[in-house]
Amino acid sequence: MSSNLKVLVIGSGFMTEHYLKVISSNNIECVVVGRGIKNTQKLSEIFNNIKFHSGGIENFLKQNSIEQFTHFINLVNIEYCIPITQLLLNHGAKNILLEKPGGLNINELDSVRNSANKVNANIVIGYNRRFFESVNKLIELSNADGGIENIHFEFTEWVHTIDKDDYSSEALEKWIISNSSHVIDTVFYLIGLPKEITTKTLGANKIDWHKSGSIFVGSGVSSKKIPFSYNTNWNSAGRWAIEVTTNTKRYYLKPMEKLSVQNKGQINITDIELPNDKDINFKPGIYDLVHSFLNDDYSKLLSLEEQIEHVKIYNQIGDYPEISK
């Protein structure tokens, strides 16, 4: 990793500590700008090799040049992510990572994409499950057995545990984009975007903050000609999970941090050992995600351009009113 790196992190919430743990462990020069004093003070007590500022990014940029930084990590809440990204672009930022999903509205995402293209900036979205050791191993083993033949997934949300006061109304209304997209993005990463898809959303108004539905079923074929299906009921039991079949095996990411296998003609399911020291010492996937971004390796990162296409599919799966243009 280059010794000339200098990272500006915007936001001092829940995810910031996980990103800073990677940055700090690699002794990368970093400045964190938060809005409130309480969170920045708490983080400063954990990371003594990182500089912290409160008062918000707008005030920080009035007093500091953005040119001193090579990379920018935007970890603010969803509703502020787009305007702050636009602010960074206006000040000359070139390499920006956004905490997933980056935004909830296609038109806003498209506007930021246009701004980034005008100044030749790179914007990527931080979906850490792409970097799970379990996912890496699944790709390796499935390729060795002829590749993925079909895939089934579920993205059940434990709606009874979600504190509505922690999120904006739009984030809740589009919860598939806000949160469940972690699972669906991993599926798209494995098999490509849908070339054909049929979706059905049922259970409208059964969840007061997610009125479009609570039961989601669908199927299709991906751009790599791999069939897929999903079946999820947010008012019942379930979890996040992905099942993959190959020529002779069925693999399970259930939970997604782990990988297990069932061989053809057998009933038992066996856990597969993973080289997951990074996924134990750091929040799973974050270490390699940060390394890829700071090394300008975009091979596994989701671009803003790709995310816009993903959000179009999420809107269809969730029966959200916004229609892509």
For the record, the structure tokens of 168 come out as 């904006």
Pair (37, 94) in one structural domain = yes
Which of 84, 109, 128 terminates a domain? The answer is 128
Query: E strands, 16-104, where?
Result: 29-33, 51-53, 71-74, 95-99
Across the chain, mean pLDDT equals 96
CATH of residue 55: 3.40.50.720
Pair (249, 168) in one structural domain = yes
Residue 289 in domain: no
Specify burial of residue 163 (Cβ count, 10 A radius: 0-12, 13-18, 19+). Answer: exposed
Domain with 50, as residue range(s), is 6-128
CATH of residue 255: 3.30.360.10
Q: 3-class SS at 16?
A: helix
Pair (212, 273) in one structural domain = yes
Amino acid (one-letter) located at 166: D
Dump pLDDT digits (tens) for 148-198. 999 999 999 999 999 999 999 999 999 999 999 999 999 999 999 999 999
Dump pLDDT digits (tens) for 1-29. 666 899 999 999 999 999 999 999 999 99
Task: Check residue 325 and give its pLDDT.
Answer: 38
Split at pLDDT 50, 70, 90, the class of 280 is confident
User: Angle CA(152)–CA(170)–CA(254) in degrees, nearest 5?
Assistant: 25
Pair (135, 228) in one structural domain = yes
Pair (86, 168) in one structural domain = no
Which of 77, 100, 128 terminates a domain? The answer is 128
Q: 3-class SS at 314?
A: helix
Pair (59, 104) in one structural domain = yes
Q: 3-class SS at 284?
A: coil
Dump pLDDT digits (tens) for 111-130. 999 999 999 999 999 999 99
> Largest Cα–Cα distance of the chain, in whole Å?
67
- Asked if pLDDT for residue 210 goes beyond 50, the answer is yes
- Asked if pLDDT for residue 290 goes beyond 70, the answer is yes
Residue 324 in domain: no
Domains held by the chain: number: 2
